[in-house]
Chain A
Amino acid sequence: MHGLAYDEVHDEIVIPSPLAQAVLVFRGAAEGEEPPLRVIQGPHTGIVGTGYGALDTVSVDGENNEIYLPVASDRVLVFDRMANGDVAPKRILGGPDTQIRYPVPADQGPLPPVAIDALHNLLVVKSTWPRGTTPSYLIFDRTASGNTKPLRVIHGPKAAIGGGNQIQVYPPKGWIIGGATGPGPSIGIWSINDDGDVAPRWRIPVNKLTGLNVNGVGIDPIHKEVMVPTGNGNVVMTFFFPEIFQ
């Protein structure tokens, strides 16, 4: 299990269960062998991972009561937050016009993450389009469904978008926070209004500073911090980063 999301509106923890093709929702204060409040699992869900990466990432939009799950075959499933059992997704985003392309064939590799900006009604999907290039951020209307073109695409050598199982948005300032390339794996900050080959506004050169990789990212607006987990070394780093929160 390599992914999770916290819904601060409803105080719930959302977890993908990769080997059982399920999404589990726990109360925020869950501890011990506590049952989930809800389980999304079954033939109608359409949940399918990959042989290698399975289902490594999930996102939640507490404001609009939705759970987002990237799945194999270059699709993003959107479930009602209260979905429980063998329930079909309320929307499926995917198709050639979406430009959602995961970096490797469907039975390999991890599935890239998404983030929701409920304030600006946007969905940011990390993609690898065209395959074999640097990743892109595809920015959609939040309710986009089917084979819909993105509103904007951030992509290119200057954009230097990098890897990682998580991306975040900070709606009050309209930032996208995610992995970046550069002098080794880094954290980069882009705007939701960026379009094309736009360089990140800021970059934390994580690898240059610590020798460690970037496998995900979390944000803590209260303490103005960015957290970076890395599997190699089993470390969670916390960077004080007030610039993006003020």
Chain B
Amino acid sequence: MRVRRGKVRISLLIVIAAIGVGVLCSSNLERLQLAAEPGTGAPQLVSIQQLPSDGEMCAWPSTAPADPVLMASLEQDPARNLFAAMRQQGRGGGAYTPDPSTIEVGRQPARMIRDEYPTYSYVAVDTKFDEVVLQDNNLWAIRVFKRTANTPPGAPVTQPERVIQGLKTEVQFNNGIYIDPDDGEIHSVESDTGDKVVVFTHDALGNVEPERVLKTPHRGYALAVDEGKKDLFVSVQYPPRVMVYRKGASGNEAPLRVIEGEKTGLSDVHGIAIDVNRKLIFVANWGAISNYLVAGTGRFELPSITVYPLDANGDVKPLRVIQGEKTQLNWPHAISLDPGTGDLYVANDIGNSILVFHETDQGDKAPARVIKGAKTGLSNPTGVFVDTKNKEVWAANFGNSTATCYPINANGDLGPLRTIRSAPAGYQGLKFGKVEAVAYDSKRDQLLVPN
């Protein structure tokens, strides 16, 4: 359902789970029809997942990824992540003094709502080694598959060739990814609590330390690299900006330049792509904007793609903006450019679509092509990658633990060429994203969880 409030449409992202049941039964999840129209930049309700109401019980399997050792370890260094900082905040300066009057309640949780399968937030293709690299934002892993892998309908899942995962990797809430075309180095931006870019060798496996770590601002989201100049571009959601570093930067190295300011039109920044031939930067914006230093400056704008010169610096106006009702933009995440054709692919999360614009488009322009429909297998796509070598387009589907691959000229409702599936067929994930609050809806006997 599309909604309007003046020029602003606002909705909400929330997962609702009925709680009379015991535990969440994946087989009983239902995915409701979602809107396919352009968004607002505001929070939106992505899904409602209804649990059985008949008291049926089914086990929500415990998972290795919620490894207590890993999680506890992640909380130990407040300088390195928010969990640790919050825990440290809880500890404060005083030592804990057990009090005999306190009753310890040692009961295990009666239920745990948790997604045990990967949630794929981003995808990239390593054309040199013929591999697909997927960011698992739920279980904090980087999973590498053969590019030609395809999960048959009857198969449980496709196993990756390699997995990078564990405390040493520093991978957490990983989103954007970039693969070095020469040596296959994997660059991963750790969002939210991560606040860094970690770089692994092509053949990194298991719980390994990154080759290098670059400290980046909170809420880093996506990456792009100018291989000619060896510049690394990092998009930052909020405060909205684009940081440009040396590609080989590490530690606390300062950026070479920063695109930031009111004139830029940046708002709730997500995906980024560059065209080194035409010397352009493309940025996907959701539209929620404010100056965090000034009270009452917040506003909602329509989502957009803003375009800047490749060497932009500071508070610069975009060269052009793709924005408006016809664009169908609705929480645009990753963007990927085909430099040969100038086609700009957008992972359009809430639209459940891949939108294809031309890089010269501006204003309220409808996409030239739209990959969308029941046959596509798209489910809240947040990652997109155009593989010009193999003439394919990949989508990472946040909603159902899959990556789907299409012909480069795909349009409309078509089935994927191949699907890499990491959960049972038909599975719909919880789409949890760093859950930090919960409320009980007594009218409906449901839990409300913001993401």
- CB within 8 Å of B: which residues of A? 1-6, 8, 11, 13, 15, 17-22, 24, 26, 28-36, 39, 41-52, 54, 56-57, 71-72, 86, 103, 107, 109-110, 128, 132-135, 156-158, 160-166, 179-185, 188, 199-205, 207, 209-220, 222-223, 225, 227-241, 243
Contact = CB atoms under 8 A, between A and B. Distances in A.
B436 A205 contact: no
Contacts of A47: 295-296, 298
Smallest CB-CB A-B distances: 10 pairs: A211-B68, A21-B298, A134-B92, A162-B90, A199-B99, A163-B90, A35-B3, A48-B295, A43-B296, A231-B434
B110 A238 contact: yes
Contacts of A158: 97, 99
Interface in B403-446: 430, 432-445
Interface stretch (B120-128, B286-294, B341-349): B286-294
Given A215-B435, A222-B442, A240 B107 contact: yes
Given A230-B435, A233-B66, A157 B95 contact: yes
A216 B109 contact: no
B95 to A, nearest CB: 6
Interface string B60-96: 0000011111011011000000110111011111111
A8 B48 contact: no
Given A17-B42, A48-B296, A211-B69, A234 B138 contact: yes
Interface stretch (B5-13, B200-208, B314-322): B5-13
B19 A33 contact: no
A212 B29 CA distance: 25
Nearest to A161: B90
Contacts of A132: 92-93
9 contacts: A19-B298, A26-B12, A33-B35, A33-B350, A48-B293, A213-B71, A231-B434, A231-B435, A234-B434
B258 interface: no
Interface stretch (B51-59, B111-119, B305-313, B389-397): B111-119
B252 interface: no
B433 A234 contact: yes
A217 B90 CA distance: 14
B374 interface: no
Contact of A210 (B32, B89, B109, B300): B109
A19 B45 contact: no
Given A24-B12, A48-B292, 15 more contacts: A13-B12, A21-B290, A21-B297, A24-B43, A30-B45, A35-B3, A43-B295, A51-B292, A165-B437, A181-B92, A185-B87, A211-B68, A220-B440, A234-B114, A236-B435
Interface in B239-287: 239, 268
B196 to A, nearest CB: 15
A227 B108 contact: no
B66 A32 contact: no
Interface in B12-51: 12-14, 17, 19-20, 32-35, 37, 39, 41-45, 48
A49 B295 CA distance: 8
Most chain A Cβ neighbours within 10 Å, of B98, B172, B295: B295
B442 A236 contact: no
Contacts of A56: 436
Given A3-B437, A32-B35, A33-B3, A220 B9 contact: no
A32 B32 contact: yes
Contacts of B449: 229, 236
Q: Which of A39, A44, A46, A205 has the most CB of B within 10 A?
A: A39
A240 B111 CA distance: 9
Contacts of A210: 68, 108-109, 112
B439 A234 contact: no
A234 B115 contact: yes
Contacts of B293: 48, 51, 107
A179 B20 CA distance: 25
Contact of B288 (A19, A134, A182): A19
B105 A13 contact: no
Nearest to A49: B292
Interface centre among A3, A133, A213 (most CB of B within 10 A): A213
Given A209-B108, A236-B113, A44 B440 contact: no
A231 B437 CA distance: 9
A227 B436 CA distance: 11
Contacts of B218: 51-52
B182 interface: no
B193 interface: yes
